Amino acid sequence: MHASPESIRLEAERQQLQAVLRALPDISFVLDDEGRYVQVIGGSNEAMYADGQALEGSTLHQVLPPAVADHFLTCIREVLESGELRTLEYPLRVAEVEGLPASVREQARATDQQWFEARILPLPGFDHPRPVVLWVAVNITHRKALEDELRRAATIDPLTHLANRQHLLDLAREELGRARRYHHPLSLLMIDVDHFKRVNDRHGHAMGDAVLEAVARNCRQALRETDHLGRAGGEEFIAVLPETAAEGARTLARRLVEAVAGIEPPERPDDRSVTISVGAATLRPGEGVDELMLRADGLMYAAKAAGRNTMITDADAPSVPPE
C-alpha cells in the first residue's frame, strides 16, 4: 500500500522539525493528552539540561511531583483544546525528576532550583494515536537571577540591607489598608541617629557607614518579625508596627533606644556612645501614611529637644508639630 502525498508531506515536515529541534541547545518534549512523554528531542547544551531520553514512555505523574504533574497536564489539555501557543514559567530541580538516571539525580547541583520557560503548542499530524503537544523548555535560571537582583536593587538599601524609603512607604500603605479594613491598630516610629554629623566629621564617612550598619542591625534584632524596618535616608530610619497600639509602640521604641545605646565608636574611647532619638505615633481615624509620618517626625524632634537618647510618643506630647 502506497502512502498518500499528504502523509508523505507530513512525515517530511516531522523529520525536518525533529532535525531542527535536535540542533537546538534547548530541550523539547512531545507529550500526549495523557501526559506521556512520547519523545524527548534536543537539549544539546549539557551545562543547562539533563539528558531526558530516559523519560520516554513514562507519564508526568510517574516522574514529577504530583502537584507539578497535575498543573502540566492541565496546561497540555488546555493547549490542545484551544489550539493556541501557551507560555509557562516554572521552577524545577533535577533531583525531583524520578525518571532520570540516579547518576544524574545525584549530581552536586541536582538539588539547585532551576527556572524554565515552556512554550507549548499543538502538534497536529504527529505519528501517535493520541493528540500531542510540543513542549519546548528554555532554561531561564540566569535571567531569573538577574530579575531578582534588579528587584532587590529597587527595594533594598545597599548599605544597611533594609527596605529603602519607597519600598517601606509601600509596605506602610499596605499595612494601613489592612488596619483600616480590619479595624486594627497601627503605629510608626521615626528614628534618627544622634550627633551623626560628628561621627562623620571625626572619623570619616567609612566610620559613619559602619555606625549606620550597626544601628540597622541592632534595631532589626530588637523588633519583631512582623515589623517593617527601613532606611528613610541619611541617618533616619522608619519602623512600621502592624497590630500595635500606643502602649506597644512605646515599648518597642524604648527597646530600640536601649538596643542602640550599647554601640560604641570603635576608634576613640573618649567619644560618646551611639544613641538614637525616636518618635512613636499611632494611627488616628481618617489619617493617612503621610500624616502619620509627619506626627512621628515631630515627636522624634521633640525627643531630640528633650536631650536625645530617648523616645517620645503621641501620648506624651499629643500636639507636637514637626520641626
DSSP labels, 137-187: EEE-HHHHHHHHHHHHHHHB-TTT-SB-HHHHHHHHHHHHHHHHHHT--EE
Q: List, for residues 170-179, the tens digit of each pLDDT value.
A: 999 999 999 9
**Predicted local distance difference test score (pLDDT) of residue 320:** 53
d(CA 28, CA 18): 10
Question: What is the mean predicted confidence (pLDDT) over 254-277?
Answer: 79
**Would you say 187 and 280 are in contact if contact means Cβ atoms under 8 Å apart?**
yes
d(CA 232, CA 162): 10
Dihedrals φ, ψ of 161, to 5°?
65, 20
**Would you say 289 and 169 are in contact if contact means Cβ atoms under 8 Å apart?**
yes
pLDDT over 70 at 161, yes or no = yes
**Would you say 73 and 60 are in contact if contact means Cβ atoms under 8 Å apart?**
yes
Report yes or no on whether pTM surpasses 0.85.
no
Give, for 116, the enclosing helix (H) or strand (E): strand 114-122
Give, for 200, the enclosing helix (H) or strand (E): helix 196-203
Question: What is the mean predicted confidence (pLDDT) over 201-219?
Answer: 92
Q: List, for residues 54-107, the tens digit of each pLDDT value.
A: 788 999 999 999 999 999 999 999 999 999 999 999 999 888 888 676 666 566
For the chain, the residue count is 323
**Would you say 193 and 232 are in contact if contact means Cβ atoms under 8 Å apart?**
no
Neighbours of 268 (CB within 10 A): 12
**Would you say 123 and 28 are in contact if contact means Cβ atoms under 8 Å apart?**
no
User: Could you tell me the domains of the chain?
Assistant: 5-148 (3.30.450.20), 156-313 (3.30.70.270)
pLDDT over 70 at 196, yes or no = yes
Q: List, for residues 11-70, the tens digit of each pLDDT value.
A: 666 666 666 555 566 888 999 999 999 988 875 445 445 556 778 899 999 999 999 999
Per-residue DSSP letter, 220: H
Q: What is the DSSP string of 10-56?
A: HHHHHHHHHHHHHHSSSEEEEEETT-BEEEEEE---TTT----GGGT
Per-residue DSSP letter, 240: E
- And the C-alpha cell for 246? 500606643
Confidence of residue 255 (pLDDT cuts 50, 70, 90): very high
Amino acid, single-letter form, for residue 319: S
pLDDT over 80 at 317, yes or no = no
Q: Which residues are marked as active site?
A: 235
